[in-house]
């Protein structure tokens, strides 16, 4: 991957805030011609710098009133099948994010549910039934203080 120059940085900042910006709008922001701008965006996409374009949806407005952070540990004897376990985790649409972490747990998950009962059901009846899951600890989010934000694109 090439080093990001000033134009790439402006493009990334702009696209993170306004992913629906047209190529003409982007070219005006960056002060490049539309073809130059298009080529740069294509390069950033092809190199994987830009993963995808999505809309940020308010979970509560579509009936997902509960967000929880779930710490998950796997059984030590299951480390040989860790990729199978991860594939199982990826299959749950309720799990929005999953990270391997250091410390007392192996994974940190961000999970959404309609209510506390459905969260409990998901954890007990589905997630804890995945082969290799040893324990889970959930922390229910009371209030979102800062919603997902654009990444800081460093100069």
Rounded distance, CA 138 to CA 105, Å?
12
State whether 30 and 85 are in the same domain: no
Q: Report, in this order, helix, strand and coil percent for the chain, each rounded to 5.
A: 45, 20, 40
State whether 72 and 131 are in the same domain: yes
Output the pTM of the full model. 0.87
Rounded distance, CA 98 to CA 105, Å?
12
**Inside any domain, residue 147:** no
Range of the domain at 36: 6-46
**Inside any domain, residue 28:** yes
Rounded distance, CA 38 to CA 51, Å?
16
**55-65 per-position pLDDT tens digit:** 999 999 999 99
State whether 41 and 102 are in the same domain: no
Please give the structure tokens belonging to residue 1: 């991957």
**27-53 per-position pLDDT tens digit:** 999 999 999 999 999 999 999 999 999
């Amino acid at each position: 991957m090439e080093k990001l120059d000033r134009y790439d940085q402006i493009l990334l900042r702009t696209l993170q805030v306004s992913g629906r910006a047209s190529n003409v709008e982007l070219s005006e922001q960056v002060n490049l011609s539309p073809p130059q701008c298009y080529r740069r965006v294509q390069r950033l996409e092809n190199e994987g710098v830009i993963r995808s374009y999505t809309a940020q949806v308010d979970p509560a407005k579509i009936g997902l009133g509960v967000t929880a952070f779930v710490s998950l540990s796997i059984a030590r004897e299951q480390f040989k099948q860790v990729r199978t376990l991860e594939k199982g985790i990826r299959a749950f649409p309720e799990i929005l994010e999953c990270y391997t972490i250091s410390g007392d747990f192996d994974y940190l998950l961000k999970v959404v549910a309609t209510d506390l009962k459905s969260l409990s059901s998901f954890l007990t009846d589905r997630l804890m039934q995945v082969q290799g899951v040893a324990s889970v600890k959930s922390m229910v989010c009371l209030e979102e203080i800062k919603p997902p934000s654009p990444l800081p694109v460093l100069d």
